[in-house]
Structure 1
Amino acid sequence: MAEWWANIDGFEKIYWYFAIPFTLVFTIQLVLSFTGMDDGIDAGDDIDFSGDIDSDSIFDGMFRFFTVKNFITFFTVFGWTGITLYNLGVNKALTTILSTISGIIVMSIVAFLFYSITKLAESGTLDFKNAIGKTGEVYIPIPSKQDGIGKVHITIQGAIRELDAMTTGKSIPTGKMVEVSSISSNNILIVKEIKHK
């Protein structure tokens, strides 16, 4: 093993540094997803490069693109694609370009699939009016005075769901408990923070 590692050049080692740890995390994430044990693990994972977790990304209208799960997917694919191409004799520049493109494509597909599955679960027989009076936990911070949309984890009709939420009051950070006071015309929960005495 040590001899094999010593014979690998520096360029290929960079890809192994991405492939091994990210594949391990990706595998654990996959197992947890299939066993239903990943609820809340990705809390607050939406990346905002300006420093505010609650920023609306350019993809927010379709699906949240910049998440921890998506970056894990990207670096897993990036690492293994780079290793494969380089061992097939592809030059370094082309290997870098193709592995990056492959990572972005697969990350986009996975992000869209998760978005579609989430929306499918939210639709169907779900009656949003059943959420009124229910309490839940903020998953993605909710901006103040209906100035944007956050997300909450809330149990409705016997299942924990991740739903869009707004508030008419002050902003509500991740982890705070809220109560649903009403539902907007486009099925967004209107919530208020539960103040602990």
Structure 2
Amino acid sequence: MDKMVETTETLQIIKVFWFMAISGTIAYLIKLVIGFIGGEFSIDDIELDNEDFQYFSFQTLFMLVMSIGWMGIFTIEYLTWDLLRGISISVAFGIFVACIEVYIFYKLRSLHEIHVGNTQNAIGKIGKVYLTIPENGTGEVQVSFEGSLKNMKAISENGENIKSFTDVKVIGVKDNTLIVSKVQ
């Protein structure tokens, strides 16, 4: 009788793992595709300590659920481990995989921050308008600093229209947007 109860419990847990694996995989793939095509969820990220980096997102949650599900199926159905051991290993594996994903995104974001964090070094440099800066609007300039040519958002000093290919001088930076004036 105890063996039958244990088998029933195992079957119920396996159903839960299959549900987690399939729903987590589908949700993760949908979120991945939306990310690739440029879409975004408005409530996607839950911010913890640092405003600049969101540690926990729906994508991480989907990865966690998916990993727990697939590892649970693997440990209980294929390795035939007992429930406690299978559940423990699958939860630990899911947390491990989610932590790896958070770490990878943290490192990728830090690569971007290196580029954006040094815009003050562009002040005083001469560049060219790449995309016309409209009157009281934002355009794009190409400016060389820190050993490379960068395309950066820019506004004109006095709100004037500056056409493409016009030489400009960077006179300031505001919110990672260059403030430029025409070279006389």
Aligned residue for 2:81, secondary structure, equals: coil
TM-superposition CA deviations, 1:151-194 (whole Å, max 9, x none): xxxxx9468xxxxxxxxxxxxxxxxxxxxx934xxx7x9xxxxx
Given candidates 82, 90, 98, the residue that maps to 1:99 is 90
Greater fraction strand: 2
- Partner residue of 1:182 out of 174, 179, 183: 174
How many residue pairs align between the two structures? Answer: 123
| Larger helix proportion of the pair | 2
Cross-structure match for 2:74: 84
Distance 2:96 2:109 in 1: 20
**Higher Cα radius of gyration:** 2
Which residue pairs with 2:18 in the alignment?
16
Closer, same or farther: CA 121–80 of 1 in aligned 2, 3 Å:
same
Identical pairs, percent: 24
Is the Cα–Cα contact under 8 Å of residues 73 and 106 in structure 1 kept in the other structure? yes
Matches within 5 A, 1:47-126: 47=46, 56-58=47-49, 60=50, 63-87=53-77, 88-124=79-115
Aligned residues of 1:12 and 1:86 also touching (Cα < 8 A): yes
Distance 1:32 1:116, change over 3 A: same
Letter in 1 for 2:65: F
Separation in structure 2 between the aligned mates of residue 57 and residue 125 of structure 1, nearest angstrom: 22
How big is the shift at 1:92? 0.9
The answer for unaligned runs of 5 or more in structure 2 is 1-9, 123-135, 139-149, 154-172, 178-184
Does the CA contact (< 8 Å) of 1:77 and 1:99 recur in 2?
Answer: yes
Partner SS for 1:120: helix
Q: TM-score, normalised by structure 2?
A: 0.54
Task: Give distance in 2, aligned partners of 1:15 and 1:110.
Answer: 21
Aligned match of 1:26: 28
Displacement of 1:74 after TM fit?
Answer: 0.4
Code of the aligned partner of 2:109: T
- Aligned-partner residue type, residue 25 of structure 1: A
